[in-house]
Amino acid sequence: MGPRLCQVCNEAQSKYKCPSCLAPYCSVACFKKHKENPCALPVSSLENSPTTGPESRVDRPLTVEEPSEVLQRLQLEAVASSSEICSALKDENLQKLILNIDCSPDAEKELEKAMGVDVFRIFTDKILSTLGS
Nearest CA among 51, 5, 42, 1 for reference residue 26: 5
Nearer to Zn ion, 18 or 114 (CB): 18
Taking CB under 5 A as the rule, does residue 5 contact Zn ion? no
Nearest residue (CB) to Zn ion, 39 versus 78:
39
* Cβ distance to Zn ion smaller for residue 5 or 79: 5
At its nearest, how many Å lie between Zn ion and the CB of residue 36? 10
Question: Cα–Cα distance between 17 and 35 in angstroms, integer?
Answer: 12
8 exposure class (CB count in 10 Å sphere: 0-12, 13-18, 19+): buried
Q: 25 forms bridges with which residues in the sheet? A: 16
Q: Which residues in the 17-76 window bind Zn ion by CB under 5 A?
A: 18, 20-21, 23, 26, 30, 39
Size of the site for Zn ion (CB under 5 A): 11
Q: Where on the chain is the footprint of Zn ion (CB under 5 A)? A: 6, 8-9, 12, 18, 20-21, 23, 26, 30, 39
